[in-house]
């Protein structure tokens, strides 16, 4: 393999035997190297293969604009997670996590605080991943001398939830993608509107739906005997509740599962938020 571009001492852009550009990581891999040099394959630790040329360019731009200490910290978090979790971690998490951590630090330095209202869901349904997230926040704060909030632990945890790569998880991922698309279409059609994908409410609702579908797949739906709030929301937001009922029918058709009242309640509340403009 030939070096195409040295991004730093540990990251390079290379060309494989099929003339495809790939991003490669390894300690000292780029030291005293330049474009055209042969790659020291013994130093390779991770290889990131993009889906296409544009994605490769995105990887390179992201790495080049990211401070080296962020990259090193991210890699240390992933190495820790690899030791603690019992499943194989998709190497692409290195790219997505660098992107997330960089943005989280930028928000922190700009005094922008975004509450994660799904914090308790992560704690309850993904305890191992949440512990990784807590470790990550402490490691980032200690190493970079900042104070990211606990909410970010849940966000980081979700990256590791999505990083599982066995065949069963891949099938679930494909199912999740299909259900997300269908549910958003149900909402847009029912309200005759295009949802604003750049809005915070959309981002929050997308995350909620990801957890929602995961709970359906894992048979871990939320249940509650308290029907007062359910009836109150049902009466106060009839259009949004009707939309939740359409989603309930869709879930029954696709998964042959009945939604609990608590799940319908949370769906309705999020639909209220995402459809109010």
Cα 201 to Cα 271: distance, rounded to the nearest angstrom = 9
pLDDT of 53 > 80? The answer is: no
∠ at Cα 224 (130, 220), nearest 5°?
Answer: 45
Which secondary structure element, helix H or strand E, spans residue 15, and what is its range?
strand 11-15
What is the architecture of the domain spanning 167-275? Orthogonal Bundle (1.10)
Q: What is the pLDDT of residue 255?
A: 95
Q: What is the overall mean pLDDT for the chain?
A: 84
d(CA 65, CA 103): 12
Quick one: pLDDT band at residue 167, thresholds 50, 70, 90? very low
Contacts of 237 (CB under 8 A, 6+ apart): 268, 271, 272
Which range of 30-34, 60-64, 123-127 scores highest in mean pLDDT? It is: 30-34
Higher pLDDT, 185 or 18: 185
Nearest to 158 by CA among 217, 209, 83: 209
Q: What is the pLDDT of residue 23?
A: 80
Q: Is 252 or 18 the better-scoring residue by pLDDT?
A: 252
Q: Please check whether the two domains, 2-50 and 167-275, share a CATH topology.
A: no
pLDDT (0 to 100) of residue 169:
59
Per-residue pLDDT tens for 105-159? 988 888 877 666 567 667 766 788 899 999 999 999 999 999 998 888 988 988 8
What average pLDDT does this structure show over 165-192? 79
Count of CB atoms within 10 A of residue 83's CB? 7
Q: What are phi and psi of 112, to 5 degrees?
A: -100, 115
Q: What is the pLDDT of residue 125?
A: 65
Residue position matching structure tokens 């290195």: 94
Which residue is listed with tokens 């966000």?
155
Mean pLDDT value across residues 73-89:
85
Confidence of residue 85 (pLDDT cuts 50, 70, 90): confident
Domain 2-50: top CATH class: mainly beta
Domain residue ranges of the chain, discontinuous segments joined by +: 2-50, 68-161, 167-275
- The hierarchical CATH code for the domain 68-161 is 1.10.1790.10
- Percentage of the chain beyond pLDDT 70 is 88
Whether this model's pTM surpasses 0.85: no
Asked if residue 166 has pLDDT above 60, the reply is no
């Amino acid at each position: 393999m030939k070096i195409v571009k040295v991004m730093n001492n540990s990251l390079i852009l290379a060309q494989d035997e099929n003339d495809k550009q790939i991003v490669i990581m390894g300690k000292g891999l780029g030291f005293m190297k330049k474009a055209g040099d042969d790659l020291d394959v013994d130093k390779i630790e991770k290889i990131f293969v993009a889906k296409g040329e544009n994605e490769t360019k995105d990887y390179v731009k992201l790495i080049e604009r990211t401070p080296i200490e962020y990259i090193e910290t991210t890699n240390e978090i992933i190495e820790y997670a690899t030791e603690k979790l019992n499943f194989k971690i998709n190497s692409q998490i290195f790219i997505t996590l660098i992107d997330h951590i960089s943005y989280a630090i930028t928000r922190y330095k700009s005094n922008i605080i975004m509450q994660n209202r799904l914090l308790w869901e992560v704690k309850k349904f993904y305890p191992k991943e949440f512990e990784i997230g807590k470790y990550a926040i402490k490691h980032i704060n200690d190493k970079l001398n900042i104070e990211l909030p606990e909410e970010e632990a849940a966000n980081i945890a979700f990256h590791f939830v999505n990083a599982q790569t066995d065949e069963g998880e891949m099938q679930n991922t494909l199912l999740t993608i299909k259900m997300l698309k269908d549910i958003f279409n149900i909402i847009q059609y029912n309200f005759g509107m295009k949802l604003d994908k750049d809005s915070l409410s959309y981002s929050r609702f997308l995350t909620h739906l990801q957890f929602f579908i995961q709970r359906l797949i894992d048979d871990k739906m939320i249940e509650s005997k308290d029907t007062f709030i359910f009836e109150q929301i049902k009466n106060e937001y009839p259009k949004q509740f009707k939309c939740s009922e359409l989603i309930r029918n869709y879930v029954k058709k696709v998964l042959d599962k009945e939604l609990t009242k608590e799940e319908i309640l949370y769906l309705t509340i999020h639909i209220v938020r995402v459809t109010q403009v």
